[in-house]
A and B are shown apart, each in its own frame.
Chain A
Amino acid sequence: MFDLDKWQEIFATIEKNKLRTFLTGFSVAWGIFMLIILQGAGVGLQKGVESQFRSSATNTIWIWNGQTSIAYAGMKPGRDIQMTNEDHDYLAQSVNGIDNLSSRYELWRGNTVSHDNEFGSYNVRSVHPAYAIIEKLTLLEGRFVNEIDINEFRKSAVISTKVSEALFKTEEALDNYIKVNGVPFKVVGIFTDDDGRDENMQVVYLPISTAQRVFGGGRDVQTIAVTVGDATAEESKLIQDNLKQKLAARHHYDPTDERAMFFWNSVEEFQRFKNLFASISIFIWIVGIGTIIAGVVGVSNIMMIVVKDRTKEIGIRKALGATPASIISLILQEAILITGFAGYIGLVLGVGLLELISKQIDTPFFKQPEVNIQIAVGATILLVIAGALAGFIPARRAAAIKPIEALRDE
């Protein structure tokens, strides 16, 4: 069946029927190419979404101060709500399901941070030790703010590699001193935040207790962030409701007031993105399968036309002594050769284009598109089989009819 002579016969036929070969090949190559591009785009989208959530823990609930918008217990709307250290301590004790908790007291831009003659303007975030986990900071040197810093009001600072480069140049930053609005702090750690967003790198972290005391913050905090372990979206929603009930009671506002305090639940958000992505992924699969089906139908049609076209030739071959088996294998091998080769071309072109795109494009929501090579190869094999089958059915019919009927075909 696989003798060289048959292949020469097939190559001769292909060479002399270039347009037909091209059309068959094109529909296969196009199907595979589109499938790969679509799959790759889907993966790119998925990676983009995932990277968006990599910058901070995906199981966090954030709470910010707000202003009441509904009258409650005789109090008019428009009242500012201010969280304090007491809220922090109270939530830590009274809410189940929390595994990390940190308040944040932030001095916004415009803080002069200096070392000797070098200075810059950075955000100063005053936090609890757990904040490093919540924000997913990577400590490169030293340590993050710890409990002793908090309890003893130590003047410790953790700075980013960017801040370190700006203020210390080549000098060793660790255990050296910086001044924050004129107050000296000792650098105990250097971090990087690998989400690549610059604003998260233009930051100096301080112990919250020290900062409140030194910069006149009293006991106020602006933000409280908690992580909820591996809670599901529903569980995390319950914890959020619990937090809200407790804070509403403490600060005397209507729990249905959406503006008194702001909640942002990343578990929920992440779930929403995951659902969105799942929909996109299903959509891509549907389009991909559609493309493959279109390819299969295209190949089938062309093979049918090819066999129809060749009916007279088949009749001639039969008159000269071709057996039905030799007719079928001639057409089948040609179909397999063309679809296999074209599928491979589509595969190479698709993967090549993705590689090219992947090097060029790196936007927040679309990263490193790549294709599952198993899916791509599987689809190619599927198309080859479909092409073979599509060739086999009419080939068998053509091989089965009487030679004279094939010869009569015009």
Chain B
Amino acid sequence: MIKLQNINKSYHMGSNSLHVLKGIDLTVEKGEMVSIMGSSGSGKSTLLNIIGLLDSHDAGEYLLDGKVIREMSETKAAMLRNKMLGFVFQSFNLISFKNAMENVALPLYYQGVSRRKRNIIAMEYLERVGLTAWSNHLPNELSGGQKQRLAIARALIGQPKIILADEPTGALDSATSSEVMDLFGEINQSGITIMIVTHENDIAHRTQRIIKLNDGLIHTDQKNGVPRPPEKPALN
């Protein structure tokens, strides 16, 4: 599903340049649920953004579902994001002037689904994340956990093959985080590939594979076997 070979990425600020990703090799199969860990600044978000076509890479090869992603036009990338990918961000990234239903329905707007139809579908997805009663509310009327569930519903509505989540529980308390992870578990059960960036060991241990980044390179890449209970100490 995702195949990265020697991916490099630098940021340029004036005369300085910062080499963030220094040659990432990674393959993620369909249906996997992967977490990416690593210290702050190690390049986790950068990697996820490149995988999500939100950012470009400088060198190396990236194959998404068999398609070569390199110097791809914005329009093509937009279409791929729309069909293949769903995003969940730490800061939710909901549109503040649209209500819950309209936020969830937005990806379908870009798929050309009629307003009536996409609102009906949006209601189904709201039900799936338990927010039916909140469909008319604006994002700022929702709690953090509700917002993240809304964002997950939005990520799912386009029926993507991959969900990319950058610290989806970073702004949530542990109980709410656990609920969100339950939701991701269900989604993964339905066959969708999931990649989650996280700092929290217990979140990572609810995925099947943990990739640790260190200074722009993959440090460790371990199969986690069955999801483990949070009490168990981290492998580090």
Contact = CB atoms under 8 A, between A and B. Distances in A.
B54 A322 contact: no
Given A5-B115, A17-B97, A324 B110 contact: no
Interface in B75-90: 75, 78-79, 81-83, 87, 89
Interface in A306-329: 312-313, 315-326
B75 A325 contact: yes
- Name the residue in B52, B83, B89, B93 with the highest tally of chain A Cβ atoms < 10 Å from its Cβ: B93
B78 A324 contact: yes
Contact of A404 (B54, B82, B114): B54
Contact of A323 (B78, B98, B106, B114): B78
A16 B111 CA distance: 23
A148 interface: no
B56 interface: yes
A16 B98 CA distance: 8
Nearest to A405: B55
Give the interface size bracket for A toward B.
20 to 34
Contacts of B97: 13, 16-17
A362 B158 CA distance: 68
Contacts of A312: 93
Nearest to A16: B97
B106 A320 contact: yes
Contacts of B83: 321
Nearest to A312: B93
A321 B111 contact: yes
Give the interface size bracket for B toward A.
20 to 34
B110 A12 contact: no
Interface in B126-155: 154
Contact of A321 (B79, B89, B94, B95): B79
Given A320-B154, A321-B83, A5 B110 contact: no
- Name the residue in A13, A320, A326 with the highest tally of chain B Cβ atoms < 10 Å from its Cβ: A320
B167 interface: no
B107 interface: yes
What does DSSP make chain A's interface, helix, strand, loop or mixed? helix
Nearest to B110: A321
Contacts of B115: 5, 8
Interface in A365-405: 399-400, 402-404
A323 B75 contact: yes
A407 interface: yes
Given A17-B97, A316-B93, A404-B49, A321 B107 contact: yes
A9 interface: yes
B46 to A, nearest CB: 9
A5 B78 contact: no
A407 B93 contact: yes
Interface in B21-68: 49, 52-56
Contacts of B94: 316
Nearest to A406: B54
Nearest to A13: B97
B207 to A, nearest CB: 22
Interface string B92-103: 011101100010
Interface string A1-32: 00001001100110011000000000000000
A213 B198 CA distance: 121
A402 B98 contact: no
Contacts of B78: 318, 321-324
- Name the residue in B75, B78, B82, B115 with the highest tally of chain A Cβ atoms < 10 Å from its Cβ: B78
15 contacts: A5-B115, A12-B98, A312-B93, A316-B93, A317-B106, A319-B93, A320-B81, A321-B82, A321-B83, A321-B107, A322-B78, A323-B78, A326-B110, A399-B74, A407-B54
Interface of A: 5, 8-9, 12-13, 16-17, 312-313, 315-326, 399-400, 402-404, 407
Given A5-B109, A399-B74, 4 more contacts: A5-B114, A321-B78, A326-B110, A407-B89
4 nearest interchain CB pairs? A321-B82, A16-B97, A321-B110, A404-B54
